[in-house]
Amino acid sequence: MKKLLIASIAVVLVGYLGISGIAYVHDKDYAERTVASRAVSSQALGIRAVLDRNACYYCHSRKAVLPNYAKLPGIRELAEHDRQTGLIHFSIDSLYAALESGMPAPEADLAKLETVVSERAMPPKLFRLVHWTTGLSADDRRVLLDSIASQRHTAYATPGVAPEFANEPVQPLPNYLATDANKVALGKQFFNDTRLSVDNTVSCASCHALSTGA
């Protein structure tokens, strides 16, 4: 009985170490290959190197090739579930596509990434139990947060915003928007024009009284 117990513990331990070993080799190879094989801008490269090294693609890229052990019963269900949920919340493929085309990443992606980096929420704990080398280091976090701040600054900060608000995920409204007087006049005319209704009796203004903010 005791021998059986020891034997089972040994089997589980060997399985765990084996899987972690395969994961280590796979992750290292993947990170080296992806970073080396594509022509990316230096801004994209910084982000990409950190995310690939931390194996974020497992659950956030549709293109990811997972190691073979991910097909084992039990592990497969877990991986599928993580990937399905992960992909709904955040896509690394669209982040990379934006960066590689020289465009800033979508504003919402930057905000989500900033949150998980600041809260050290990713990769999930269970995943790190097998993928020992993953987990964002202080340097990794700084690379990501600096890059998020610089993209936000160039692409999304409200012009003239006070420096302490320039890196806010939700930017203050501008004090002033450039408008074209002719377009404003045309809009006003449409807004009050009853011909926009089926029977020529109702305009936007019938329901929306601008003076009351309705």
Among 38-46, 61-69, 115-123, 152-160, which window interacts with ligand HEC (CB under 6 A)?
A: 115-123
**Could you say whether residue 110 binds ligand HEC (CB under 6 A)?**
no
**Could you say whether residue 162 binds ligand HEC (CB under 6 A)?**
no
Three-state SS string over the chain comes to CHHHHHHHHHHHHHHHHHHHHHHHHHHHHHHHHHHHHCCCCHHHHHHHHHHHHCCCHHHHCCCCCCCHHHHCCCHHHHHHHHHHHHHHHCCHHHHHHHHHCCCCCCHHHHHHHHHHHHCCCCCCHHHHHHCCCCCCCHHHHHHHHHHHHHHHHHHCCCCCCCHHHCCCCCCCCCCCCCCCHHHHHHHHHHHCCHHHCCCCCCCHHHHCCHHHCC
Q: Given the complex with ligand HEC, which of 104 and 123 has the nearer CB atom?
A: 123
One residue of 115, 118, 194, 200 binding ligand HEC per CB under 6 A: 115
**Could you say whether residue 85 binds ligand HEC (CB under 6 A)?**
yes
**Could you say whether residue 207 binds ligand HEC (CB under 6 A)?**
yes
One residue of 31, 64, 122, 148 binding ligand HEC per CB under 6 A: 122
Q: How many residues does the chain have?
A: 214
One residue of 86, 151, 152, 156 binding ligand HEC per CB under 6 A: 86
Quote the least distance from Cβ 7 to ligand HEC, whole Å: 30
Residues 6+ apart with CB under 8 A from 161: 171, 172
**Could you say whether residue 137 binds ligand HEC (CB under 6 A)?**
no
**Could you say whether residue 90 binds ligand HEC (CB under 6 A)?**
yes
Question: Residue 87 and residue 84: Cα distance in Å, rounded?
Answer: 5
**Could you say whether residue 31 binds ligand HEC (CB under 6 A)?**
no
Task: Assess contact for 60 and 66: CB atoms under 8 A.
Answer: no
**Could you say whether residue 76 binds ligand HEC (CB under 6 A)?**
no
**Could you say whether residue 56 binds ligand HEC (CB under 6 A)?**
yes
**Could you say whether residue 23 binds ligand HEC (CB under 6 A)?**
no
**Could you say whether residue 54 binds ligand HEC (CB under 6 A)?**
yes
Binding site for ligand HEC (CB under 6 A): 51, 54-56, 58-60, 82, 85-86, 89-90, 112-113, 115-116, 122-124, 127, 136, 196, 202, 204, 206-208
